[in-house]
Chains A and B, each alone.
Chain A
């Protein structure tokens, strides 16, 4: 019953998952430190809990095709992460999974998925670009994919880094960081940082394959 294209996507799922989990685990302390500066100091712990749960489900996730795998992974994050980032990342992945009817073949396909994911995050967080959130990484990454289909990975990584850095000067208007008002300026946003880490991890895998 195993079709050929399914095997290809199996391999991707496994590698993508492994890279994403490794990125979050390695940087959990850094995410927590960033969150201690402007949030409630649990972003690294929460994300690590969620991604540990993804690692535990790796066997099942690898057997699924990408759309189903993303939706399942999103559900796991929703249930396991604990903070607001659970529903935010969970909604991102679930919407991306729903938008991915087939294994994505081009930068355009990935951009379409990410666009759907971003809309879900905006709706869930009632937020948009410029509020010092993960969207300040994801939206520039989407724009990079759309405008550089010839070299999407390099453009996406650059956009993620620039987007992350831009959050430093932003005033937080969403989440716990918004309680700090002006004092939130000068710090990187932890959610933007975790999004940038994931963009890096995923692009590394895709570039190697």
Chain B
């Protein structure tokens, strides 16, 4: 398997999602493919399954996609989005139980070294500042 695990950032706020993605880009660099989404279908605070699915598809790799989420609905909607993908893709998508910003940095750093999806998820989840 070539390439690195990709990262998807899902926040209730489009600005938080964008800012987190920006931090990952600046701190970790360009080796990891990264997508972000946030906001409800009308642009308010919230998360939306369609946008999460698009974000996953945009950076999908058989190596894996690690999703970082902020609060409750972001996780529920991400799980829903994963389940609505074709099963062979869904198997390579993991939702990390980690704080959004810290988890995204940790996951991307781990992913940049070529780690597999399980290692990327574990790294994001073990970090407690």
Q: Known A49-B41, A49-B42, A78-B84; judge A87-B76 contact (CB<8 A).
A: yes
Q: Does B3 belong to the interface (CB within 8 Å)?
A: no
Residues of A close to B72: CB separation below 8 A: 84, 175-176
Most buried by B among A40, A82, A176: A82
Main SS at interface, chain A: helix
| Contacts A78-B84, A124-B79; A84 near B73 (Cβ below 8 A) | yes
Which A152-188 residues sit within 8 Å CB-CB of chain B?
175-176
B58 contacts the other chain (CB 8 A): no
- Bitwise, A56-89 to B at CB < 8 A (1) or not (0) is 0000000000000000000000111011101110
B79 touches A84 (CB 8 A): no
A-B CB pair tally, cutoff 8 Å: 55
A170 to chain B, nearest CB (A): 17
User: Which residues of A are at the interface with B, using a C-beta cutoff of 8 A?
Assistant: 40, 42, 45-46, 49, 78-80, 82-84, 86-88, 90-91, 124-125, 175-176
A80 touches B76 (CB 8 A): no
Q: Does A42 lie within 8 Å of B71, measured CB to CB?
A: no
